[in-house]
């Protein structure tokens, strides 16, 4: 099923330029989006809690910084660019009580809306504008007169504005129309994004990399070689995959590598498919969201333990040594 795609020529930038945008949060996404909006001549303010360490940075970059509730009262479009697990607390206390009829509340990820952590009153527009990349890439591509793909979705229509027109215009101001803005739903964006993170990009890739490294180490191979073959060269393959696709990747590797990949793809794929189906089901039925929010309520015990333990692993210790020349060049 092909998603509708919109480009700069299809989108009216004037829609978002005619509105006052308020961004809650000034982390990687908040900063990048605010700067891109400003450079697209969109009126933009930042909302932060009193005493926020990000306030001085936002002010230094020329933005007016308000407390969140004041920002809400003086904006047409409010973008909640906070960690997913903070949405419920912040929006219920600082946003929803101060909303006015027809305002639009936007998100960069569908988690809190899709899993009913945040329920906005009727008449308020609820939109998703999700750049497909981190804040650093969003800003860098914009400055190069390029952009990232963006996803938009409309969960709830505004009684005052056309929510879809606002979402498209906002995405264009981000540089999204230069590449393409695809229309989806909160459900599809949220579930596919979580699945990609858990099964492939973060969880899956890390598991394969670490398992490969440990397999070679246990078989007596030097740590340096294990790191090169199972970690370092991932970037080379990922870049080929990113720019040229699976077929292009195949064309740029040796016959030996291609034959080995084909020979082992099926047995590995059979094992992975079953696990991936379980991962997707837990995302779809809400059990992952429940587990994650419980983790947050307990102050992240598992995350903290895992982060501490990772520093002591062989893969990180040898990796730190081998990555040093690259970090030095930066």
Q: Under a CB-based contact definition with an 8 Å cutoff, are residues 16 and 42 in contact?
A: yes
Q: Is 328 a catalytic residue?
A: no
pLDDT digit string (tens) for 170-216? 999 999 999 999 999 999 999 999 999 999 999 999 999 999 999 99
Annotated catalytic residue within 109, 242, 252, 328: 109
Is 212 annotated for ligand binding? Answer: no
- pLDDT reading at 330 higher than 60: no
Is 70 annotated for ligand binding? Answer: no
Between 330 and 61, the more confident residue is 61
Is 193 annotated for ligand binding? Answer: yes
Token pair listed for 173? 């101001």
Q: Where do the domains of the chain lie, and which CATH numbers do they carry?
A: 5-184 (3.40.50.720), 193-329 (1.10.1040.10)
- pLDDT reading at 165 higher than 60: yes
Look at residue 253 in the predicted model and tell me its pLDDT: 95
b/e map 240-273, b = 16+ CB within 10 Å:
beeeeeeeebeeeeeeeeeeeeeeeeeeeeeebe
DSSP β-bridge partners for residue 6:
181
Whether the full predicted model's pTM is greater than 0.75, yes or no, is: yes
Report the candidate in 158, 191, 210, 150 with the shortest Cα–Cα distance to residue 288: 191
Strands 150-156 and 125-131, how do they pair? antiparallel
Look at residue 1 in the predicted model and tell me its pLDDT: 57
Is 52 annotated for ligand binding? Answer: yes
- Alpha-carbon Rg for the chain in angstroms: 22
Report the candidate in 127, 113, 150 with the shortest Cα–Cα distance to residue 36: 150
Q: Express as a percent the part of the chain with pLDDT over 70.
A: 99
| Residue bearing tokens 């740590």 | 223
Q: Under a CB-based contact definition with an 8 Å cutoff, are residues 23 and 33 in contact?
A: yes
Report the candidate in 286, 121, 275 with the shortest Cα–Cα distance to residue 190: 286
Is 177 annotated for ligand binding? Answer: no
Look at residue 271 in the predicted model and tell me its pLDDT: 84
pLDDT digit string (tens) for 210-263? 999 999 999 999 999 999 999 999 999 999 999 999 999 999 999 999 999 999
Is 28 annotated for ligand binding? Answer: yes
pLDDT digit string (tens) for 24-46? 999 999 999 999 999 999 999 99
């Amino acid at each position: 099923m092909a998603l509708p795609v919109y480009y700069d020529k299809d989108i009216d930038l004037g829609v978002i330029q005619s509105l006052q945008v308020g961004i809650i949060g000034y982390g990687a996404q908040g900063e990048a989006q605010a700067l891109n909006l400003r450079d697209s001549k969109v009126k933009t303010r930042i909302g932060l809690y009193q005493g926020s360490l990000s306030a001085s940075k936002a002010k230094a970059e020329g933005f007016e910084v308000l407390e969140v509730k004041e920002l809400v009262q003086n904006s047409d479009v409010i973008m909640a660019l906070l960690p997913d697990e903070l949405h419920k607390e912040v929006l219920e206390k600082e946003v929803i009580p101060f909303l006015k009829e027809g305002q639009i509340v936007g998100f960069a990820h569908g988690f809190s809306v899709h899993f009913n952590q945040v329920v906005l009153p009727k008449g308020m527009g609820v939109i998703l504008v999700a750049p497909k990349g981190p804040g650093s890439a969003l800003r860098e591509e914009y400055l190069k007169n390029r952009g990232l793909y963006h996803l938009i979705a409309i969960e709830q229509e505004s009684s005052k504005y056309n929510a879809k027109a606002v979402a498209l215009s906002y995405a264009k101001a981000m540089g999204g129309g230069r590449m393409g803005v695809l229309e989806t739903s909160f459900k599809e964006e949220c579930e596919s994004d979580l699945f990609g993170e858990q099964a492939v990009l973060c969880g899956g890739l890390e598991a394969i990399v670490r398992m490969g490294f440990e397999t070679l180490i246990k078989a007596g191979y030097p740590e340096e070689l294990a790191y090169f073959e199972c970690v370092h060269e991932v970037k080379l393959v990922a870049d080929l995959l990113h720019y040229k696709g699976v077929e292009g990747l195949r064309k740029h590797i040796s016959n030996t590598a291609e034959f080995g990949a084909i020979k082992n793809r099926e047995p590995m794929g059979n094992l992975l498919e079953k696990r991936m189906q379980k991962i997707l089901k837990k995302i779809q039925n809400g059990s992952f969201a429940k587990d994650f929010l419980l983790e947050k309520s307990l102050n992240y015990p598992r995350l903290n333990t895992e982060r501490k333990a990772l520093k002591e692993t062989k893969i990180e210790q040898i990796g730190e040594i081998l990555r040093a020349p690259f970090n030095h060049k930066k």
